[in-house]
Amino acid sequence: MKRAEATLLMVRHFSERFTESILLIILVALGVGVASSAIALASRTWQWSRQILDVPEYREIVVGMRDEADAMQRAAIRSVSAVGSPLTTADLSIAKSIPAITHAYVEHRSMIHFINDASVRREASTPRCGKSDLANARNDSSIIIAEQEEAKGYEVTPQFFAARTLEAMLGSLFSDKACEEGAQVIVLGKNLAEELTRQSRNGAPPSLLIGKKLLTYEGYLTVIGILKEAGNRYDEIFFLPWQDKKVLPPPQLRFAVASPHQIEEACAQLSAWFSRSATEGIVCFNPRHAVEHLVKRNRGISLLILFLSFSGLFMSAVNVGNIFMGRGMRMREKFGILMALGASQKEVLRLLSVETLVITLSGALLSLTFSAPLSRSMLQAIGIEGASSVFPAYGTLVSWLFILAFSFIPAYQNAMVRPTDAMRVR
């Protein structure tokens, strides 16, 4: 049997059952699309779970005041009540007596406000106008005048950088001495440094910022270091040396442990130590508790959706197989004639396989139009960002192969019929 004759036969067969073929493609698309979006959801959820549990913040114990812990909706392990002074850097010394703790530091949110033309105009009627400071800075090449109004960051003690595995790309990080002496120094994230360089130096390399002073309402801040790219929010912010003072909200003490399995024990030891201190309303809480609960919830949701979608895929595969079986049975008489004229069962199987492949592949390609947006919507619903196009494509391939396997079964059965039996079909 010539290939042209075989192709003409299948095209005629497809056109004679055009509506049925289109509905079959849609059925495949729905089954594959829903299943592939569920596979993408489950794959991204598992990837996100591993990533978030490896974040250094969730291998730490946070010590803060009771009201702050409640506001953050963190899981409080133990609380102690006493009377006395707020938390200070001196309380970090407890880390030396707890072997599980590797780093101890203070972390407190901060913000700096730059002095520039816009801020001077806005603050013209206030005592902190900064007009004279701006005028003096224009004649001093060692002072950086930023165009942006403000920048966000943290006041920290030096062990923060080691706990978060942050290193200096240029310059250096500040030391404990800088915190003790109240040095007016600053360390910049990579992206923030590049932005400040663009604003003040017209695209010059960030290395020119080292040793320069930032003109801010908080005073002159000397840039001593720029961090290596971290690939997270630390690239966009600054870091100042923490100095003990009364601030609202109160500062947090953070204690990093070597292994997540040691958090509970270390937290109990910290709670016992702070219960003997002279500070009122201190709470030791474990941020990992809330994250682990969120991970379990998201994994459970993704598994449930995956099970339901695969149930739908299985039903779609069975229906598609039944339809292909019916289409093949209606063509058995033609197959019998072809085999009587010299066509082999292998050639008939090839004809049916091509039809099966074209229809299922068309349905799989059609499913790509909605599987990726559907998986992205489900990820957003459970609070996971960063949807990837790789997972929907992988899910589509797996789902298509599943339906294709069911579709080849009737093709094989119809092709293996004997010519004499096929000729008797009416």
CA distance 371 to 377: 10
Tokens describing residue 123 = 């603050």
CA distance 157 to 174: 8
Residues 145 and 247 in one domain: yes
How many CA atoms, within 13 angstroms, populate the side-chain half-sphere of residue 244? 12
As for how many domains the chain has, the answer is 2
Reported pTM: 0.73
Residues 9 and 90 in one domain: no
Residue 269 lies in a domain: yes
Per the CB < 8 A criterion, the answer to whether 355 and 14 are in contact is: yes
Residues 261 and 313 in one domain: no
Residue at which a domain ends, from 285, 311, 330: 285
Compute φ and ψ for 417, nearest 5 degrees. Answer: -70, 145
Residues 338 and 375 in one domain: yes
**Largest Cα–Cα separation, the chain:** 105
Compute φ and ψ for 226, nearest 5 degrees. Answer: -130, 130
How many CA atoms, within 13 angstroms, populate the side-chain half-sphere of residue 343? 23
Residue 10 pLDDT: 63
Residue 69 lies in a domain: no
Residue at which a domain ends, from 252, 285, 318: 285
**What is residue 54's three-state secondary structure?**
coil
Tokens describing residue 319 = 């229906």
Q: pLDDT 10s per residue in the chain (426 long)? A: 555 555 666 666 666 677 888 888 999 999 999 999 999 999 999 999 998 988 888 889 998 876 554 544 444 444 444 344 467 888 888 888 889 999 999 998 999 999 888 888 776 666 566 677 788 778 888 888 888 889 999 999 999 999 999 999 999 999 988 888 888 999 999 999 999 888 776 656 888 889 999 999 888 999 999 999 988 899 999 999 998 876 767 788 999 998 888 888 898 888 888 887 655 678 888 888 889 999 999 999 999 999 999 999 999 999 988 888 877 666 666 666 566 556 666 776 777 778 888 889 999 999 999 988 898 889 888 888 877 778 889 999 999 999 998 888 887 777 666 655 555 555
Per the CB < 8 A criterion, the answer to whether 98 and 268 are in contact is: no
User: Torsion angle, CA of 273/62/91/255, rounded to 10 degrees?
Assistant: 90
Residues 275 and 298 in one domain: no
Residue 71 lies in a domain: no
Residue 58 lies in a domain: no
Per the CB < 8 A criterion, the answer to whether 61 and 285 are in contact is: yes
How many CA atoms, within 13 angstroms, populate the side-chain half-sphere of residue 249? 15
Residues 48 and 98 in one domain: no
Q: At 183, which amino acid appears?
A: A
Residues 6+ apart with CB under 8 A from 109: 152, 153, 154, 155
Residues 280 and 311 in one domain: no
Residue at which a domain ends, from 250, 285, 320: 285
Residue 60 lies in a domain: no
Task: Give the burial class of 97: count Cβ atoms within 10 A of its Cβ; 0-12 exposed, 13-18 middle, 19 or more buried.
Answer: exposed
CA distance 230 to 189: 8
Residue 310 lies in a domain: yes
Residue 70 lies in a domain: no
Residues 164 and 241 in one domain: yes
Residues 271 and 310 in one domain: no
Residues 29 and 176 in one domain: no
Residues 231 and 345 in one domain: no
Residue 17 pLDDT: 72
Parent domain of 226: 76-285
Task: Give the burial class of 173: count Cβ atoms within 10 A of its Cβ; 0-12 exposed, 13-18 middle, 19 or more buried.
Answer: buried
Residues 96 and 238 in one domain: yes
Residue 81 pLDDT: 40
Per the CB < 8 A criterion, the answer to whether 241 and 160 are in contact is: no
Q: Give the C-alpha distances (Å, rounded to integers) separating 268 from 55, 77, 286.
A: 22, 8, 11
Residue 125 DSSP label: T
**Scanning the structure block, which residue is given the tokens 């016992």?**
272
Residue 320 lies in a domain: yes
